[in-house]
Amino acid sequence: MKKFLPFLIITVIIFAAGCSKSSNSPNKPGNGPTSGNQLVVSTVTFGYGSPIADTFSVTKYKYDAQNRVILTTMRYKATGLTDTDSYYYDTNGDLTKVIYQAAGGQGPQYKYSGVEVFTYNNGIPQSITTNDSYHNNSSLKYTVTNNKVTGYVSTSGPTKNCSVIYDGDNVKTVIYNAGVSPNVATTTVTNIFDSNKDIAYTTGCKWVLLGTSAPIPYAAQNEISSQSSITQGITNTNTLDYEHNSEGYPTKVTNSLNGKVFAIAYNTFADAK
């Protein structure tokens, strides 16, 4: 897969930036978006290994008449890379293809293009196949239980398979297995959610979360308040603090890694069509 940002934390960073504020407590009542009447049109992130005052990336979103994202452009300041993704849907509204290309970066690893093709069975994701000019071809096949993706098996890449545990409609735990026996490294990712609704369900951006940035094809129903990952006994924990506008949409998110501010993202919204 072409993206290289972390699993669900990037979901929060990309879709977050203020009036009311929610804490990290998963039990704190929240308003959250009450309807899909706003769309995120731009996101500016700071940090991600650079000084927190430095811009990391700027992302812009374009939508169709059904308020589905059809184009994203993401420019990384440090490398000069611009990543452009175009999204295509079938008559059922399911994402069927993403065409992407990167240009302007420093070095061949920042110049690539490709296409991802998604298949479904009665609206349930079945597989993703990628043809990439830099990373070559790859594919993964989902396992589905009770109409939910509960894991996948990959034919390429370091992560060979994963399993998913839900809490309602939220992805509570994901277990990744990378490598080949007997040299298998297991990573367990655990999420805690607050009571605010994840804006991906109401802004038309749900499909941005598919495949490339997180191969579990469901946005969380609620905002993630913290996420921990354990690999070979090493634990890292991200905590997320949100600020929301008067409509309940998160306009700012602060991501702290192991107690230290790691990244901050600001979102701008516009009314839906």
Beta strands 170-180 and 159-167: pairing type? antiparallel
Could you give the CA distance from residue 245 to residue 40 in angstroms, rounded to a whole number?
Answer: 12
CATH number (2.40.10, 2.40.160, 2.40.50, 1.20.1080) of 7-21+40-271 reads 2.40.160
**Cβ proximity of 151 and 162 under 8 Å:** yes
Residue 7: what pLDDT?
A: 33
Q: What is the pLDDT of residues 119-174, one digit of tens each?
A: 888 877 788 888 887 666 788 888 888 877 888 888 776 667 888 888 887 888 98
Averaged over 47-55, what is the pLDDT? 79
Distance, C-alpha 220 to centroid of its chain: 10
The closest of 83, 80, 64 to 72, measured between CA atoms, is 83
The yes-or-no verdict on residue 91 having pLDDT over 50 is yes
**Cβ proximity of 194 and 222 under 8 Å:** yes
The domain limits of the chain are 7-21+40-271
Residue spans of beta strands (DSSP E) within the chain = 20-22, 38-47, 55-63, 69-76, 82-89, 95-103, 112-121, 124-132, 136-145, 148-154, 159-167, 170-180, 183-197, 222-231, 234-244, 250-257, 260-271
Averaged over 172-191, what is the pLDDT? 85
pTM: 0.79
Band of pLDDT at residue 234, cut at 50, 70 and 90: very high
The yes-or-no verdict on residue 177 having pLDDT over 90 is no
Could you give the CA distance from residue 170 to residue 223 in angstroms, rounded to a whole number?
Answer: 9
Q: What is the pLDDT of residues 256-271, one digit of tens each?
A: 999 999 899 999 998 8
